[in-house]
Amino acid sequence: MKFAIALFSAAHAPSSRRALLFAQAALAGGHEIVRLFFYQDGVHNASGSVVTPQDELDLPRQWRTFVTEHQLDGVVCIAAALRRGVLNAEEAGRYQREAVAVAAPWELSGLGQLHDAVQDADRLICFGGA
């Protein structure tokens, strides 16, 4: 089965951990993940600026490791990221901001990437959101 996974909740939310566990289990079960799409507050899961307390799970780091190790397509919604100050080097330069929070393996891109993923996947699985 091919999955597209959309994450809408911030790194400290339980649904972010559930999304990661689901993605790990999907790959372990022989399934494919066509794209991970981070939207709304979910963009914080791709931020290198999140500092997690030592007694909590560092989900942004775990997501980065997971995406890198499995060479997955990790897309961060550019509009949601800009709104929340989660910028890559290109967008930081464009908007004359000093903070860069997103780097490889993440890609900032538009909502069309989610649409394309849904077309390629058998199932869209969403975590978080209102």
pTM: predicted TM-score of the whole model, two decimal places: 0.94
Domains of the chain: 2-127 (3.40.1260.10)
- Band of residue 60 on the pLDDT scale cut at 50, 70, 90: very high
Q: Which helix (H) or strand (E) holds 14?
A: helix 14-28
CA neighbor of 107 nearest in space, from 63, 83, 69, 77 = 77
Query: What percentage of residues in the chain have a pLDDT greater than 70?
Result: 99
Does the annotation mark 77 as catalytic?
Answer: yes
Q: pLDDT (tens digit, 9 = 90+) per residue, 62-105?
A: 999 999 999 999 999 999 999 999 999 999 999 999 889 999 99
Q: pLDDT (tens digit, 9 = 90+) per residue, 1-47?
A: 999 999 999 999 999 999 999 999 999 999 999 999 999 999 999 99
* Active-site residue identified among 67, 77, 80, 108: 77
